[in-house]
Amino acid sequence: MKNEVHCLISAGPTREWLDPVRFISNPSSGKMGYALANAAKARGLKVTLVSGPVTLPCPTGVDRILVNTAFEMQEVMGQHFPASSLTIMTAAVCDQRPKVFHEQKIKKDKVSEIIELVPNPDILLSLGKHKRIDQILVGFAAETENHIAHAKIKLQQKNLDWIAVNDVSGNQAFESDDNQLTLISNHGQSIIFEKEDKISLAKKILDLVYP
């Protein structure tokens, strides 16, 4: 449809492979991103969900693109970003990947005790650099300490309109159905949400970031 408003959401972890049977990743369940995709669809937006490996079903009516590595996620996000009015990065992108990918399974007696890592691209940072005035960009900060201060730095550095701050101490936010968030805007607004289920939270976040 011609006048559809596009919404682009990333969710879940990325996997960074050492060889065909081993990878580095994190426990992100994708629940927050999938809840946002459902909520955005319910509001009549045309939703593209770029998802790392999770066990959740594709939300009805949402266009889901499955990716694996940070590089794959970056490519797909970059393709869809220009057409997106509202972009939300909830994905737990691995910041590093093994320097060398071994085409063949490394035999156990040959696995090095030290795996050399190199930095992955910061997807949100690059989206922020290309953001137009008519686009809204939202990030999710995963923090274990100094949550608000760290999130405010990310809000500025990545040129975001909003950032939602997650406490990921002990993986509680990653795997739980509930979450406790603070949403901060680039205009200095700060909204603290009580702990509640991610589906209700997703609706409240959308009400604020895309009224």
User: Which residues touch 12 (CB under 8 Å, ≥6 apart)?
Assistant: 28, 29, 30, 33, 51, 52, 53, 54, 91, 92
Asked whether position 37 contacts ligand CTP by CB under 6 A, the answer is: no
Asked whether position 123 contacts ligand CTP by CB under 6 A, the answer is: yes
Given 142, 181, 201, 209, the residue binding ligand CTP (CB under 6 A): 142
List the helix and strand counts (H, then E) for the chain: 6, 14
Alpha-helix residue ranges (DSSP H) falling in 28-158: 31-42, 70-80, 123-130, 147-157
Given 72, 122, 178, 196, the residue binding ligand CTP (CB under 6 A): 122
Asked whether position 120 contacts ligand CTP by CB under 6 A, the answer is: yes
Question: Residue 21 and residue 40: Cα distance in Å, rounded?
Answer: 36
DSSP state of 134: T
Question: Residue 59 and residue 39: Cα distance in Å, rounded?
Answer: 10
166: annotated active-site residue: no
Task: Tell me if residue 90 falls in helix, strand or coil.
Answer: coil
Q: 3, 26, 38, 120: which one is catalytic?
A: 26
CB of 89 to ligand CTP, least distance (A): 4
Question: Residue 152 and residue 186: Cα distance in Å, rounded?
Answer: 8
Asked whether position 210 contacts ligand CTP by CB under 6 A, the answer is: no
Asked whether position 181 contacts ligand CTP by CB under 6 A, the answer is: no
Nearer to ligand CTP, 38 or 166 (CB): 166
For residue 142, with 0-12 CB atoms within 10 Å meaning exposed, 13-18 middle and 19 or more buried, which class applies?
Answer: buried
Asked whether position 95 contacts ligand CTP by CB under 6 A, the answer is: yes
Asked whether position 75 contacts ligand CTP by CB under 6 A, the answer is: no
Task: Tell me if residue 140 falls in helix, strand or coil.
Answer: strand
CB of 174 to ligand CTP, least distance (A): 11
Asked whether position 13 contacts ligand CTP by CB under 6 A, the answer is: no
CB of 187 to ligand CTP, least distance (A): 19
CB of 109 to ligand CTP, least distance (A): 33
Using CB under 6 A as the binding criterion, the count of chain residues that bind ligand CTP stands at: 14
Closest by Cα among 48, 39, 11, 8 to 135: 8
Asked whether position 183 contacts ligand CTP by CB under 6 A, the answer is: no
Structure tokens at 112: 């090095």
Q: By CB under 6 A, name the binding residues for ligand CTP.
A: 70, 89, 91, 93, 95, 120, 122-124, 139-142, 154
Residues labelled as active-site residues? 26
